[in-house]
């Protein structure tokens, strides 16, 4: 998992302070641009776990 690009998929709806689109917390989203790559990788790994735990609440980006 070497990619650290912003995982935002432009959904930005929150369930208990966690975005149902990308799985990051509001604090992680705010701090994203200032994070170094190792920290971003940690956040991405945690976000992926959160999205899996949320199950059916998550959404995919709409195709245009």
The predicted model scores a pTM of 0.80
Tokens read off for 27: 């604090």
**pLDDT at site 1:** 46
User: What's the 3-state SS for 27-61?
Assistant: HHHHHHHHCCHHHHHHHHHHHHHHHHHHHHHCCCC
Per-residue pLDDT tens over the stretch 6-36: 999 999 999 999 999 999 999 999 999 999 9
Question: Where exactly are the structural domains of the chain?
Answer: 26-55
Res. 38: pLDDT tops 70: yes
Percent of the chain with pLDDT over 90: 73
Res. 64: pLDDT tops 50: no
Res. 47: pLDDT tops 80: yes
Cα(57)–Cα(26) distance, integer angstroms? 17
């Amino acid at each position: 998992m070497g990619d650290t690009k912003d995982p935002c998929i432009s959904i930005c709806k929150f369930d208990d302070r966690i975005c149902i689109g990308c799985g990051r917390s509001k604090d992680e989203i705010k701090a994203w641009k200032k994070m170094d790559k190792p920290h971003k990788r940690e956040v991405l790994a945690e976000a992926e776990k959160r999205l899996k735990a949320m199950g059916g609440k998550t959404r995919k980006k709409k195709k245009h």
